[in-house]
């Protein structure tokens, strides 16, 4: 009898403890304000389309785990860009991400001697830590600030080295500050990126001539039309390590939250010159699923 009562009490205690922990730490049941987790960048981190923000992926708050996945295409006159990936946010504090990038060279591949439709590929493994501040809450002049790393592995090393790159893998370091001024429906973000990536890494890193890491800038400005719709612009400066005339990037975007978990983004993207082929301007389309 006594053993039965003890076992029953122990079982009830374990169940109560499990329920308390489940209530204290939710998995994939976040309740961030819609769109305040950002969308997925082409590198898989949370932010805008081409610029990293200080946001943390997923819909989780400070007591949960969130996840998001994305697929993005950029249609340009001479190239087709595609990326897809997944990211995990923990307690709105830490983010881990992975993305695969593919650049279809189409006719350019034949012109460069790579072969018609040759596709350049890259894997990107990211991590981001929110240092302080909050995107929405807290003092208006204190942004959310995050530091991040993006380890990039070019899967076409021989091609990268042939065009003059020094290496086929490298790591970017980012420092981002982002704030949503909710009263004015305006989001402002700025990121410093320490990088040696050529065309984001798809043409390798640095140059055999000695060019290497440099500090680049990313900026975003967005206006929230409604709870679910946002218009904005982004800018991203780029190094020109290979001397091929690599240009800065710019886009004008619109993001819409179809549901609390599904966001679609469309943009006009100007990526300038890519491997000496100029005026690479076209449509950017992305879809994100987040919990």
Q: What residue spans of 25-117 are helical by DSSP H?
A: 106-111
Residue 180 and residue 209 in contact, taking contact as beta carbons nearer than 8 Å: no
Dist CA 79 CA 61 (whole Å): 39
What is the domain count for the chain? 1
Angle formed at CA 190 by CA 281 and CA 72, multiple of 5 degrees: 40
Residue 74 and residue 80 in contact, taking contact as beta carbons nearer than 8 Å: yes
Dist CA 78 CA 108 (whole Å): 7
Of 54, 60, 49, 124, the residue nearest 89 (C-alpha) = 60
| CATH number of domain containing 280 | 2.40.160.40
Residue 161 and residue 209 in contact, taking contact as beta carbons nearer than 8 Å: no
Show the domain range for 20: 2-290
- What average pLDDT does the structure give for the chain? 91
Structure confidence at residue 13 (pLDDT): 43
Interval 204-248: pLDDT, tens? 999 999 989 999 999 999 999 999 999 999 999 999 999 999 999
Give the predicted TM-score (pTM) of the model: 0.89
Dist CA 230 CA 39 (whole Å): 11
pLDDT tens digits in sequence order for the chain, 291 residues long: 444 443 443 344 434 443 444 455 678 777 899 999 999 999 999 999 999 999 999 999 998 999 999 999 999 999 999 999 999 999 999 999 999 999 999 999 888 888 899 999 999 999 999 999 999 999 989 999 999 999 999 999 999 999 999 999 999 999 999 999 999 999 999 999 999 999 999 999 999 999 899 999 999 999 999 999 999 999 999 999 999 999 999 999 999 999 999 999 999 999 999 998 999 999 999 999 999
Dist CA 200 CA 166 (whole Å): 14
Distances (CA, A) of 100 to 27, 42, 52, 55, 206: 25, 9, 16, 21, 21
Of 225, 210, 217, 212, the residue nearest 255 (C-alpha) = 225
């Amino acid at each position: 009898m006594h053993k039965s009562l003890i076992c029953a009490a122990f079982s009830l205690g374990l169940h109560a403890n499990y329920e308390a922990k489940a209530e204290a730490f939710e998995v994939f049941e976040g309740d961030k304000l819609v769109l305040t987790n950002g969308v997925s960048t082409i590198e898989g981190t949370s932010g805008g389309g081409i610029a990293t923000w200080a946001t943390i992926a997923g819909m989780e708050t400070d007591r949960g785990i969130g996840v998001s996945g994305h697929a993005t295409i950029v249609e340009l006159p001479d190239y087709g860009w595609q990326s897809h990936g997944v990211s995990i946010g923990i307690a709105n504090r830490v983010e881990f991400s992975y993305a695969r990038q593919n650049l279809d060279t189409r006719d350019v591949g034949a012109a460069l001697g790579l072969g018609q439709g040759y596709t350049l590929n890259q894997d990107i493994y990211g991590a981001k830590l929110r240092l302080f501040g909050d995107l929405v809450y807290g003092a208006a002049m204190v942004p959310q600030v995050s530091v991040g790393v993006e380890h990039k592995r070019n899967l076409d090393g021989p091609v990268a080295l042939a065009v003059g790159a020094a290496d086929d893998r490298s790591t970017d370091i980012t420092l981002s500050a982002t704030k949503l001024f909710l009263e004015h429906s305006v989001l402002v973000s700025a990121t410093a990126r320490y990088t040696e990536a050529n065309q984001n890494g798809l043409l390798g890193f640095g140059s055999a001539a000695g060019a290497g890491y440099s500090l680049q800038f990313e900026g975003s400005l967005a206006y929230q039309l409604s709870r679910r719709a946002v218009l904005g612009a982004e800018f991203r400066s780029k190094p020109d390590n290979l001397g091929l005339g690599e240009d800065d990037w710019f886009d004008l975007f619109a993001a819409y939250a179809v549901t609390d978990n599904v966001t679609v983004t469309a943009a006009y993207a100007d990526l300038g010159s890519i491997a000496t082929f100029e005026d690479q301007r076209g449509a950017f389309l992305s879809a994100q699923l987040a919990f």
